[in-house]
Chain A
Amino acid sequence: MLGRHADNLFWMARYLERTENSARRIQSAFLHTLTQRPDGDEEWAAILHSTGKAEAFAKRHESVSMAHVIDYLLRDKANEDSIISLLANARQNARSVRTALTQEVWQSLNESWIIMNTALKRPVNIRELPSILENIIKGSSVFRGALYGTMLHNDIFNFLRLGTFIERADNTARIIGARYHRLLPTAAGALGRSDQSQWEIILRSLAAWRSYNWLNRGHLDPSSVASFLIFDDRMPRSLSFCYHEICTNLSDLETEYGRTYDSGQCARVLLRELEDGREKDVHRISLRDFVNRFIIDNNNLSLTIASDFNLAP
């Protein structure tokens, strides 16, 4: 396969995953704002902060308010990580590699883009927001379904999946990193009401609120939330799950191309570290250092994949 095409596939998947993640974050912050009125705007500031957008946002808007942040994250073309920019970038990559995609995969993405372009033409009314966010997430699900149901599971598929899980691991790590202090057990072990709602936000923005509650019978405690998000390889957005998938796709490529690669070795080392970590008490490791290092390692893996497979021109 052409190296540039692999690059287009990888980034198309990353941008789409980022679109879905962003929609989920907005969704959970929105819910929080409606139910926890007093510290509402704080939550919007936190979103900007965790995505590294606080400074860029300040250049566009004077104050942090829900309306401004939503506009910035959904439809501001000057923001390269707004939903509209991400979808346009995903689609641009897909068009460049159109011949590698099935009609259904391409159409699912093209339709999301067409729908969002219309829906986001004008500033979003609060009443429309839930359905817009739902549509973005639904578009992502349809894409995933078309991918699994119609594509050959070959190297094209592997590069798409690698993009998805590198991006997803990054997203989960950043969400933990931005709120790691909340995930530390308090001295008294008691939970304030605001801590509870913070965890709810974290879990909801990773589509994991229900599954966490189901596994823990509604019992919220910091170390089990952290360990769930990092080590539980049943949870499709945990770091461990992402690295299982990354390793599988890299070893598929190794089998298909008949040799081993640096990226495969790196990924396996990172996965082993996650597996070893599970054995230890989460809070004996420094959560902040762990997450910061993980984000760097994950990014380095992305670069190693690019050089191993001639992704960059």
Chain B
Amino acid sequence: MFDEMLDGQGSEGREPYRPLLTWLENQDFRKLSKQSLQAEELFRRIGITFNVYGAHDGEERIIPFDLIPRIIAGREWRALERGIIQRVTAINAFLADLYHRQEIIRAGIIPSSLVHGNKAFLPQMCGFTPPGNVYTHVVGVDIVRTGPDDFYVLEDNARVPSGVSYMIENRATMLQMFPELFASHHIQAVSDYPKQLFRSLADCASSFMDNPNVAVLTPGIHNSAYYEHSFLADEMGVDLLQGSDLEVRDGRVIIRTTEGTAPVDVIYRRIDDEFLDPLSFNPDSLLGTPGLFDAYRSGAVMLANAPGAGIADDKAIYSYMPEIIEFYMGEKPLLDNIPTWRCSEPDNLAYVLAHLPELVVKEVHGSGGYGMLVGPAASKRELAAFTRKLKANPANYVAQPTLSLSTVPILTRNGLAPRHVDLRPFVLVSPNGIRVTPGGLTRVALRKGSLVVNSSQGGGTKDTWVLES
């Protein structure tokens, strides 16, 4: 098991962590624990909360925040960054291809059924080119680590990745609590992300509009990521809208304002495809705006991310990512995929059923850690139940080996203790290039030995430092 702070280096620790370890030696841990509580109190006051689906009474919770930062050396980051840019470039090329000539299917690399039988693929997008030819304006690439130089992409989030507000608020909290650490480390800034996002969206739209009216579209205050939606709108200085605020009139998208109406040109939407427009997608949806998709196709408004981008982060497509990168980039992937068994294929299914206790099994369309099986942690009953599910609907699942995820210590009542982490860096795409914010959201499984880092399953977060060198 690889510990990012201490691995193999005794108490001196790995190089990027040495100044922090020296600082930690001089800290009173009881005082640190107290500060940890203060940080959570601050989060609650600011209202950095999330709603848990299914929890009674719309209860709001805060995501536990751990004070010990996760540190990535500049050298490590640059390698990661190259791999992420390569991957995201390929994802956009893949989407442009799928919605036009579908060369990758003709070349026999991806089975047609996997695309055309997929809910995330939107035939309505075929033949349409989004402004700037960008499909995924914002991507969150989930990365796990198993050794000093061993990084794997766990998942691509090409629809509406969330968590970026935690990246920024965690940093702000650390700056407030431990300013001295920022004097002794050279840490790359993350706070300009909202401005970069605005710039990136405006650059994409520049093909049809200068100085566009940008807005953030949210499902509303009961959505689990509502705080983030309001945070981003606030930081960008743009309106935060709900579907019912928008109206399509004479082909233009407008909002009703206190002075009459005003146009909207760019919508950073944080709602899923199927809730965008009841006329084009889910007719039962109350969240959407009738006619929005037609306005989009006629070029009256830009949507970010593009509808239909989700086909690229589908868990069944994921297993083809190495081939997708090679096909469009003409080079080997710089970042590895985790070996993945597609249960739709009989040989794979047989293997997965035989090795279930060692594997992680996920629903192809699932997210948030819901509906997954972690073999080594599952009881006999859970394994038996999952076997039945797999046999009944094999195409709904993929399986992966249980990786030995890296650990970073967290602060516990008994001092520091290692816990498993992952990393979600945030990527902005525009015709002017791809930008990866140096840092990201580090999620940490707070329970000893647990591999599930999702906030809905009791995970926490850490500030993530990318050093200058």
Contact = CB atoms under 8 A, between A and B. Distances in A.
Contact of A111 (B45, B241, B258): B45
Given A1-B258, A103-B46, A309-B258, A95 B233 contact: no
Interface string B37-78: 000000011110000000000000000000000000000000
Interface stretch (A2-10, A16-24, A182-190, A213-221): A2-10
Nearest to B244: A313
Interface residues on B, range: 20 to 34
Given A96-B221, A98-B234, A110 B258 contact: no
Contact of B242 (A4, A110, A257): A4
Contacts of B46: 103, 107, 110
Nearest to B230: A98
B256 interface: yes
Interface string A287-306: 00000000000000000000
Nearest to A311: B258
Nearest to A97: B240
B233 A99 contact: yes
B47 A106 contact: yes
A3 B260 CA distance: 9
Interface string B211-230: 00000000011000010001
Contacts of A106: 47
A257 B233 contact: no
Contacts of A3: 255-258
A313 B257 CA distance: 10
B44, B46, B257, most chain A CB atoms within 10 A: B257
A114 interface: yes
A310 interface: yes
A275 interface: no
B284 interface: no
Contact of A2 (B47, B221, B230, B255): B255
Contacts of A313: 244-245, 256
A2 B239 contact: yes
A36 B226 CA distance: 50
A265 interface: no
Contact of B239 (A92, A95, A99): A99
A92 B258 CA distance: 21
A309 B44 CA distance: 34
B250 interface: no
Nearest to A91: B47
Contacts of A41: none
A253 B258 CA distance: 10
A155 interface: yes
Interface string B352-394: 0000000000000000000000000000000000000000000
A114 B221 CA distance: 17
Given A98-B240, A257-B258, A4 B45 contact: no
B259 interface: yes
Interface string A82-112: 0000000000100110110001001100110
Contacts of A310: 256-258, 260
A264 B29 CA distance: 61
Interface in B239-265: 239-242, 244-245, 255-260
A99 B228 CA distance: 11
A257 B45 contact: no
B16 to A, nearest CB: 33
A2 B245 contact: yes
Contacts of B245: 2, 4, 313
Contact of A107 (B45, B221, B257, B259): B45
Contacts of B44: 114
Contact of A257 (B47, B220, B241, B259): B259
14 contacts: A1-B257, A2-B239, A2-B245, A2-B257, A4-B256, A99-B239, A107-B46, A110-B47, A111-B45, A159-B258, A309-B259, A310-B260, A313-B244, A313-B256
